[in-house]
Amino acid sequence: MPELPEVETARRLIADLGLGRRIADVDDADTFVCRPHSPGKLREALTGRTLTAAHRRGKAMWCETSGVDSSAGPGPDLGIHLGMSGRIVIVAADGWVAEGGDPPGRDAQPRKAAWDRFTLEFADGGRLSLFDKRRLGRIQLNPDIDALGPDAGEVALAEFRALVTKGTIAVKARLLDQSKIAGVGNLLADQMLWKAKISPATPVNHLRRQDADRLYRALRSVLESAAARGGAHTGDVIAARRPGGTCPRCGAEMRHGTVGGRSTWWCSREQAWSAPASELLPEAASQR
DNA sequence: ACTCGTGTTAGCTG
DNA sequence: TCAGCTAACACGAG
């Protein structure tokens, strides 16, 4: 299930194998994945064009398209979001298949054709599909990319500090807010908070400058290692996200709860959160 | 049978 | 209007 590193893999796949191929037909029959949905709308908008570039910001991808002929202006952008279980599958003219997105190894059963939610049929006989079991992926023309914050892999330290520390929300919930920082999902958030030794429940206004800076460095290194190792699920602490799991660093028991509406795991020793004494009620402070 | 989930978002509240 | 929270979406896996 894709976070930033998996989406980048999918984007690169499209950039390498999907560009410059004439779109001969479009299957946009899925009434939930293709939005806004009027059957045939995407077919009408895309047939006769080619994809000319593949971009990504956070977990959102979009492809530029060519004019239907050389005299026409460029076509609409094709927005692609993989959701929780989406994967890009590209079939070459000779039938060779390449995939990127949701790691195939984790659900390696044969692909059912019914799970291809959107397909570009190329004139060369190949195709590009959004394969998505849960149908939470999205295909959309001209997606509003500016609604997203800066890409998590490109945000600068000063910008990160400003975006992450304003307000009172739990730091993990803020990291998951795509309008602030784009690309961090549930696993990357747990991994980077663990790496920075910060409790996921810490209200962001309680983060000191040194905490925010440590979290920023954790973001950089977690993205880098996830990209190198093949996805967000390869993080050191991810294997410990299970009942009975222990911290890979100190051996303490891992705790589980819900933060920002998502399943969350943290080290009971290194990521314990306690409010500064000045913010506790008098009776609570006296118990410390 | 029943619960959970690596994501997003409409709709509600203060 | 904004920040923050919750339920809903869909469906396969355990």
A76: cis peptide before it, omega within 30°? no
| pLDDT on residue A108 | 44
Sign of dihedral through CA atoms A9, A10, A11, A16? positive
CA A135 to C1' C11, whole Å: 8
Q: Does the C-beta of A199 come within 7 A of strand B?
A: no
* pLDDT of A109: 47
Question: ∠A135-A141-A146 over CA atoms, to 5°?
Answer: 100
CB A200 under 7 Å to nucleic chain B: no
**pLDDT in the model for residue A240:** 87
**Residues 6 or more apart whose Cβ sits within 8 Å of residue A218:** A192, A193, A195, A196
A134 touches strand C (CB under 7 A): yes
Chain B: bases < 7 Å from a protein Cβ: 4-9
A186-206 pLDDT tens trace: 999 999 999 999 999 999 999
pLDDT in tens, A258-274: 898 899 999 999 998 76
B2 C1' – A21 CA distance, angstroms? 47
Which nt sits closest to A167, CA to C1'? C3
What amino acid positions of A are annotated as catalytic residues? Answer: 2-3, 59, 262
pLDDT at residue A221, as a whole number: 94
Q: Which two tokens stand for residue A225?
A: 């290692």
Mean pLDDT taken over chain A = 88
CA distance A50 to A26: 12
Q: What is the pLDDT of residue A112?
A: 75
Q: How far is the CA of A68 from the C1' of C5 (A)?
A: 46
Residue A148 CB in 7 A reach of strand B: no
Q: Spell out, as residue ranges, where chain A has pLDDT lower than 70.
A: 102-111, 274-288
**How many Å apart are A61 CA and C1 C1'?**
30
A169 CA → C2 C1’, Å: 13
Q: What is the DSSP string of A171-231?
A: HHHHHH-TTTSBS--HHHHHHHHHHHT--TT-BGGG--HHHHHHHHHHHHHHHHHHHHHTS
Q: Is the CB of A29 under 7 A from strand C?
A: no
Q: Considering only residues 82-111 of chain A, list those whose CB is below 7 Å from strand B.
A: 83-84, 103, 106
pTM: 0.91
